Amino acid sequence: MSQKQWNPEQYKKDASFVPKLGQHLLELLQPKPGERILDLGCGEGSLTLEIAKSGATVIGIDTSAEMVAVAQANGVDAYQMNATELDFEMPFDAVFSNAVLHWIKTPEKVLNAVHQHLIKKGRFVGEFGGHGNVMSAQTCLIEALNQRGIDGNKYDPWYYPSQEEYAELLDRNGFEVEMIELYQRPTPLGEDVMPWLKLFSDSFLQALPVSEHWSYLEEVARNLRLRLPKEDDEYILDYVRLKFVARKKE
């Protein structure tokens, strides 16, 4: 399956809540002047720049060339790189990641790469989608493919571990878990679900010819509207986050 393509303009318009809702993670990271920190999946770099305000030297990486170009234009020292194939000569005091790790279905590879790039006792701090994340949307996307005779699960791009599962994985890969917590974060999507679906469902769309994309998305959107609660005219999606602070053991 090909890698998710990000459109920085569309992301800014329909997903600007992602870095905003990640601000609280800076308190978990506690960046300090002089530290060397890697932002894994920096996107357009807004949280990277926030971290840099501490006086730390921050480098961002992202798989998307378009996002890296925007981050660089925003003043971030950013590189196009895969989180599973980090390639830096000097180790980091800390690695940070917001809203990225659920896109990578090989979490052990990420943990190995992070482990190799941290100093001894260096910290890995992050947040991503945990067990049950956006389940309403995921179910509608999968079911609409199943109804077309396609195994929808095969096109699901997301990794949403439970707290226990990820804590165990961190431990098994050389990290001491200082804090890990799964929590519900119901998130307003705006007046309609379609912008969110268009931005995030390309993996599912790969199962279908282009001529069927729109009718598929319309069906998913119809079903999703029926499932989601609304507040002040905004649909609320069932986001679940898994946040953690882990320290390299050796």
Interface positions with ligand BEZ (CB under 6 A) = 99, 102, 129, 133-134, 158, 200, 239
Question: Closest residue to ligand BEZ, Cβ-based?
Answer: 129
Strand segments (E) across 101-233: 118-129, 175-184, 187-190, 230-231
Residue with tokens 């986050």: 241
Name which of 36 and 225 has its Cβ closer to ligand BEZ.
225
- Closest distance to ligand BEZ from the beta carbon of 35 (Å): 26
Residues 41, 97 contacting (CB under 8 angstroms)? yes
Name which of 134 and 220 has its Cβ closer to ligand BEZ.
134
Name which of 116 and 206 has its Cβ closer to ligand BEZ.
206
What is residue 43's three-state secondary structure? coil
DSSP per residue over 225-248, as a string? HHHS-EETTEEEE--EEEEEEEEE
- Closest distance to ligand BEZ from the beta carbon of 195 (Å): 12
Give, rounded to a whole angstrom, the gap between the first and last alpha carbons of the chain: 35
Name which of 48 and 138 has its Cβ closer to ligand BEZ.
138
- Closest distance to ligand BEZ from the beta carbon of 82 (Å): 19
- Closest distance to ligand BEZ from the beta carbon of 158 (Å): 6
Dist CA 184 CA 76 (whole Å) = 31
